[in-house]
Structure 1
Amino acid sequence: MVSAVRAVRAPSLPPTRHGLLPWLRPELSRALRDQQGHALLVHGPEGVGQMEFALALAQAWLCETDAAARPDGLACGRCPSCHLVDERSHPDLRLIVPDALKAEAGLSADDGSDDEGRKRKPSREIRVEQIRAALEFSALTAGRSRHKVMVLHPAEALNAVAANALLKTLEEPPGGLRFVLSCGAPEALLPTIRSRCQDLRLRVPEREVALAWLQDQGLEQAAVLLDASGLQPLQALALARQGLGADVWLGFPAAARAGVLEATTSWTVPLLIDALHKLCHDSLMVTLGQSPRFFAHGAPVPAGSVGRLTAWSARLRDRARQAEHPWSAGLAFEALMIEARQQLGGVPARGGGQAGPRPGR
């Protein structure tokens, strides 16, 4: 099952060789060895490190250490060029992300004001103005490397105008310009963009590798949160950093069935929708006699009606599309938990059927 909403952004990690996510190392070495075109489309689940992979690829292309000293092709992580990439200040690298993701990507964000000084919500799209500025960059001579590199993440955030503005340069790049487009939903891209890129798919890492890495990060009960994330280790780490512990996750099925919110008052609406969608999936699996996927460590997942659970899953997908709407979070939480209690066959919560205390937001 694809998660209903990207409820938790995976933390951005340094792409140096020593900090490179261990499951990406062989894929990166293979990509450097087998690269044939000037543009790569890197895609896979968000929690496996798409942006980290794209930046590590750019860093390897821009690394100033002699290739003979890098038999696997990866960046050395020590030369001035590698440090400039880490600092997002390399003159031959342009990292393009939506305004809402600039801080996460290590870029300076603007103050969020429009031309008249009014605050505006940071855009979640890659806008045509960003692409036009990037095309000006592409026309310049490389400053210190043989190549210039343009990284777009997530590529599916390109709006229609921006995507069309990129097409010609993507097909006929000037000089040594290379592109890396990283995304989680390649099917959302224009076919004309996909056809101009060499396809590279990232897969979730082996469970043992992901668990070892999470334990190295100091994550307690890593197996519980790894399953909660759908085996996506960066998402598991993001859940923990947001304060969602293993005990809270294991208690969520019973809390949702009873419509009680005490342990989830710090959650965001997107996170609650995502958790409910995963619980709905596992409840459907249990109903069909299968093992749960996201609550696989002893959390009692209730069975239900196949028809009702399928309809509930569809409603949760619809609500996920509006999860960032600036409505009252307290009312949204209450409505979601009342519906969860009804769909999972739970008993009414204490307090006249209320869904527990509302979040203070």
Structure 2
Amino acid sequence: MSQANTPTLWPWLRQPLAQALQQLHSHAVLLHGPEGVGQFEFALALARAWLCEQDAAPGQALRPACGHCVSCRLMDAGSHPDFQLVLPEALQASLGLGGSEGADDGEAADKGAGKSRKPSQEIKVDAIRAVVQFSQSTASRGRAKVVLVHPAERMNLVAANTLLKTLEEPPGQVRFVLSGSALEQLLPTVRSRCQAWRLPLPETDVAAAWLGEQLNASPEDARVLLDAAGGQPLSALERHAQGLDARSWAGLPGDLLQGQAGALAQWPLAWTVEALQKLCHDLARKAVGAPPRYFPAACLPPAPEMGRLQQWSQELGKLARHADHPWNLPLKIETLVLQARAVMRVRPARQGLPGG
């Protein structure tokens, strides 16, 4: 069983949490929305509130966890007996959680083999079998039992089907939070047995102000970085930590037009492809007279023909599906830069002849 310590509840999550606690009454909640807004932290806050032992006033809806009761302190310590967190191995490592999914079932008995293999990106059936067993036991503290599965779409087919029966016939006091951002990959039968709750993007002014404080950046630069991340402040913070700044992002279209890689030379291929897809998207919006979403309008060159942009978008989409392939990265970046330059170079409109 994996657990996590007290999450940080970002300012844009507080009101949605209060609303969720008033409206979510099902034994199983399907929390969905864009990445980079604090979905995992929000799911943990839900679990903490459900387990909190400070009773609300009669007739009052559930409130966020008090942070002081025995249950909250157990959650802080990562040792609450009535809470189970299920993550892929790879995500456990990134969150600094010990142990590995299914490690106690003999799957990683060969320690030498365990060290040589890459952490799994999937949630496997052994972890869900442990959830089923956990859900069937009595709550240790008598309040409730909570299972958090994140990202839910990472359950493989066998794992999802194993969880399905428990979702159909939940035992006793157990509640489930299935959290994810690509729920179209989740079994429809699993989705249909949960109460859906969408976590929206934060208001731009709130997210940009928070991001500016975190980065000690000007409001203008914070807005550029927030837009670059599609309005997702935690993604913007992560990208900045990896070397992205407002100036290099705004300068990227001009660099590509000159055949220069610019900031792309420092990024993983998946980030490079994503940046080019965002540029293609904004150029397409400009071509039809709509404002850009990801780049400052002033930094975009004239829009190419829509047909060229559609072809470029299709080619980038194909590459995105294989971004983890062991490409020769410098050569691949050079190819992408040349491709972008060829698409973006637009001949000036022909002027009418004098007197014509």
- Shorter-chain TM-score category? 0.7 to 0.9
Secondary structure in 2 aligned to 1:293? coil
Q: Which residue of 2 aligns with 1:8?
A: none
Q: Which region of structure 1 is more displaced relative to structure 2, 161-170 or 21-30?
A: 21-30
1:234 aligns with 2:240: no
Q: Which residue of 2 aligns with 1:93?
A: 83
In the aligned structure 2, how far is the partner of 1:148 from the partner of 1:245?
43
Change (3 A) 1:150 1:142: same
Secondary structure in 2 aligned to 1:117? helix
Larger Rg: 2
What RMSD in Å do the two structures reach over aligned CA positions? 2.5
Change (3 A) 1:189 1:263: closer
Q: 1:203 aligns with which of 190, 194, 200?
A: 200
Q: 1:76 aligns with which of 31, 55, 66?
A: 66
Written as runs of structure 1 = structure 2, the 5 A alignment for 1:8-27 is 16=7, 19-27=8-16
Could you report, residue by residue, the CA deviation over 1:39-71 in whole angstroms, capped at 9, with x for unpaired residues? Answer: 000111112221111110001111122324997
The answer to whether the 8 Å contact 1:286/1:301 transfers is no
In the aligned structure 1, how far is the partner of 2:159 from the partner of 2:307?
41
Q: Which residue of 1 aligns with 2:345?
A: 345
Percent identical: 51
Change (3 A) 1:283 1:109: farther
In the aligned structure 2, how far is the partner of 1:176 from the partner of 1:306?
55
The answer to whether the 8 Å contact 1:224/1:296 transfers is yes
Q: Which residue of 2 aligns with 1:307?
A: 307
Q: Which amino acid aligns with 1:25?
A: R
In the aligned structure 1, how far is the partner of 2:75 from the partner of 2:124?
23
The answer to whether the 8 Å contact 2:144/2:173 transfers is yes
The answer to whether the 8 Å contact 2:21/2:61 transfers is no
In the TM superposition, what is the alpha-carbon distance from 1:184 to its structure 2 partner?
Answer: 0.9
Structure with the larger RCO, 1 or 2 (CA within 8 Å, 6+ apart):
1
Could you report, residue by residue, the CA deviation over 1:80-107 in whole angstroms, capped at 9, with x for unpaired residues? Answer: 4224324433221111111111133442
Q: Structure 2-normalised TM-score?
A: 0.86
Q: Which residue of 2 aligns with 1:333?
A: 333
The answer to whether the 8 Å contact 1:132/1:165 transfers is yes
In the TM superposition, what is the alpha-carbon distance from 1:205 to its structure 2 partner?
Answer: 1.2
1:251 aligns with 2:240: no
In the aligned structure 1, how far is the partner of 2:206 from the partner of 2:108?
44
1:137 aligns with 2:134: yes
The answer to whether the 8 Å contact 2:49/2:62 transfers is no
In the TM superposition, what is the alpha-carbon distance from 1:15 to its structure 2 partner?
Answer: 5.3
In the aligned structure 1, how far is the partner of 2:74 from the partner of 2:211?
28
In the aligned structure 1, how far is the partner of 2:62 from the partner of 2:175?
20
The answer to whether the 8 Å contact 2:304/2:346 transfers is no
Written as runs of structure 1 = structure 2, the 5 A alignment for 1:253-332 is 253-296=253-296, 298-332=298-332
Q: Which amino acid aligns with 2:189?
A: T
Change (3 A) 1:251 1:14: farther
Secondary structure in 2 aligned to 1:310? helix
Which one has the bigger helix percentage? 2
Q: Which amino acid aligns with 2:148?
A: V
Q: 1:66 aligns with which of 30, 55, 76?
A: 55
In the aligned structure 1, how far is the partner of 2:43 from the partner of 2:335?
40
The answer to whether the 8 Å contact 2:264/2:333 transfers is no
The answer to whether the 8 Å contact 2:260/2:337 transfers is yes
In the aligned structure 2, how far is the partner of 1:224 from the partner of 1:21?
20
In the TM superposition, what is the alpha-carbon distance from 1:226 to its structure 2 partner?
Answer: 0.6
Residue segments in structure 2 that go unaligned for 5+ positions in a row = 348-356
Q: Which amino acid aligns with 2:13?
A: L
The answer to whether the 8 Å contact 1:92/1:144 transfers is yes
